[in-house]
Amino acid sequence: MIRLGKYNRLTITRFTDHGAYLDGGNIGEILMPKNYVRPEMHPGDAVDVFVYLDQKELLVGTTEQPYCQVGDFAFLEVAWVNEYGAFLSWGLMKDLFVPFREQKMKMEQGRKYLVYVYVDEESRRIVGTAKIDRFIRHASPGLYHRGMEVDALIWQKTPLGFKVIVDNRFAGMIYDNQIFTEPHSGDRLKATVVNVRPDGRLDLSLQKIGKSKFRDFAPALLEALKEAGGTLPYTDKTPAGEIAARFGVSKKTFKQALGTLYKARKIALEDTDIKLIHR
């Protein structure tokens, strides 16, 4: 079965002046335009192609790699706008259409928007929508647990932090107290699950959590001390923002590393700084 808007592995049946024809099963042959035909291709070869509709609404296969597929969320730029809607650049010759009814606000040329790509059941066309809420799911019980690493797509800023889309599917939140360098809509980041709420929403951190993270940072802090000549002007009273700016970790992680090094008698804690103990 051909998967519209996704990659398909298809067999070359024949060549013409227009390109290579691919076996589309019960829907017939699919053209791969000659621009994508390589000299080493022969009838019977299997090729991986992205299948979509061309300007004439005919199925075609391309070896071009779009920025996203059907079923993906993506942050895309508007290439042009007409009386029917907006057309977004997504790495193919034919731009992705977002009708006005699927726009939260009127899209403007040159601006980027977060959209979901799907096949419209009525027209059978590949389209995008900025009304993405209806496509975001809540994680089922047991699917995620504290400490798991996930992919997070930054969605939008809220008074509490940032809404994110987890693993291209689920609703998540990164709270302000877990953010040390402010992300932007469309950023794709690695994050760690802090909490799975009863409703299936995920609370995330941009740092690894647990004792392993604390152990990991203690050697890094020790190395920073050595590079600084044995003294650093930071203590457990230093503001969290200064610690994040200098070391890229939370104050909690920093303080835990201080404790680890102090107990190991590698550092001395002064009123205004920390000092390396030379032995």
Q: In the prediction, which pLDDT does 247 show?
A: 75
Q: Would the pLDDT of 163 be above 50? A: yes
Cα–Cα distance measured from residue 183 to residue 189, given in angstroms and rounded to the nearest whole number: 9
**Could you tell me which residue, 179 or 149, shows the higher pLDDT?**
149
Query: Is residue 155 within 8 Å of residue 114, measured between CB atoms?
Result: yes
The residue type at 236: D
Cα–Cα distance measured from residue 93 to residue 176, given in angstroms and rounded to the nearest whole number: 40
Q: Check residue 151 and give left, alpha or beta (phi > 0: left; psi -120 to 50: alpha).
A: beta
Segment 228-242 shows an average pLDDT of: 88
**96-128 residue pLDDT tens:** 999 999 999 999 999 999 999 999 988 889 999
pTM over 0.85: no
Residue 159: CA count within 13 A, CB half-sphere: 0
Residue 114: CA count within 13 A, CB half-sphere: 20
**211-229 residue pLDDT tens:** 545 445 777 788 788 888 8
Cα–Cα distance measured from residue 166 to residue 189, given in angstroms and rounded to the nearest whole number: 10
Task: Locate all alpha helices (DSSP H) within 158-236, ordered by sequence.
Answer: 211-227
